[in-house]
Structure 1
Amino acid sequence: MNQLSTNWVLGHKVTPYQTTGNYNLVKGESPAGAQGPPPHIHKKYEEVFFILQGQMEFVLDGRQSTVTAGELVNIPSGCLHTFSNTSDESCLWLNIHSPKGFQSFFDAFGVPESEKDAMQQSLAAERITDVLKRAREFDMEIKIP
């Protein structure tokens, strides 16, 4: 697999990989205390998160769980979900979206890791506003509580 460029997306470092199948694969790193995206639904995408190191809190259809290294979470299409790293250590993970197509979200809102203050730029108010405004373009229906 070929690694593409690494970006910071909403406070998470995301590295996509080219695949030949009908899915997108990214490796991610969530710093300690990193908030996840707002609760959202994908109508056409299914997701899988596999935790490589550390732990991540997931909320799926209102049920919260802690997922640790070596465990995975399946997120079917239509499931209201979010995640965050509430621990004091960074979390490494793999994420798959199927079918292929969600990579365009990471491309649209990512800040190249080589840019100065890339993580902070990825969390800038204007970027968050843009995500909230354009999320539906990427099959991401945001449900703000």
Structure 2
Amino acid sequence: MPDNKIGYEARKRNTSQEAPTQVQTFPALQPLIRQPGEGISIAGSPEDPTAITLTGKETGGAFFLINAYSSVPNVGPPLHVHTREDETWYILEGEYEFRIGNNLVSASPGMTIFGPRNIPHTFHTTGSGHWHVLIMVTPAGLEDFFITMGQRIRQNELTPEGLKKLARQYGISFLD
């Protein structure tokens, strides 16, 4: 039978050299149910009630969710890039055109589009009618950008230069 003392000494040596294990803890999350029209309004009108329906605080920082509506054709953000977040869009109603990197995609209800960070992207509504898309941003943290932008739009205080400055604070660069 082999001498177990050698194995014991090796295990003891390896154990003593290991860095202490750090356990990451997350806040206890609570179930949350949002009704239509609930959330933090970020833009739009009663006909287009775009809102953040889940915040990063409510998801433990994992993501936030925007429920975006539009009744205006050919509307969307300029070409831009995020350095901190990924975006996922799930089309519920209407037709959209997305540009993700070098890909140009026509998107219709039921489609999912993923835009990784550091990849330029944009989208806009196409056709006519109403548009509805869920936008999940991971990780959370960018929702304050949308809240501030929405407030400035409603107060008629958002200039193109002001938007660029605000975006830079959140790691966003406009490319158009």
Partner of 1:101: 141
Report % sequence identity: 23
Distance in 1, Cα, partners of 2:68 & 2:89 = 10
Cα deviations across residues 31-63 of structure 1 (Å, max 9, x unaligned)?
231421110111110010000111111011132
Q: CA deviation at 1:134?
A: 2.0
How far residue 125 of structure 1 moved from its aligned partner, in angstroms, is 8.1
Note the alpha carbon deviations across 1:88-130, whole angstroms, 9 max, x for none: 1121010011001111111111149xxxxxxxx55x6844331
* Counterparts in 2 of 1:57 and 1:13: CA distance versus 1, 3 Å: farther
What is the root-mean-square deviation in Å for CA atoms of aligned residues?
2.4
Amino acid at match of 1:20: T
Runs of 5+ unmatched residues, structure 1: 113-120
| Structure 2 portions without partners, runs of 5+ | 1-31
- Of residues 102, 105, 111, the one that matches 1:71 is 111
Residues 2-31 of structure 1: CA distance to partner in whole angstroms, max 9, x if unpaired?
A: 44232316xx74211233241011100122
TM-score (norm 2): 0.67
Q: How many residues align?
A: 134
Letter in structure 2 aligned against 1:15: A
Bigger relative contact order, structure 1 or 2 (CA pairs below 8 A, ≥6 apart): 1
Confirm whether residue 86 of structure 1 aligns to residue 86 of structure 2: no
Structure 1 distance, partners of 2:79, 2:97, is: 13
- Counterpart code for 2:134: L
TM-score, with structure 1 as normaliser: 0.80
Q: Give the match for residue 115 of structure 1.
A: none
1:141 aligns with 2:176: no
Larger Rg: 2
| Structure that is richer in strand per residue | 1
User: Does the 8 Å contact 2:78/2:175 carry over to 1?
Assistant: yes
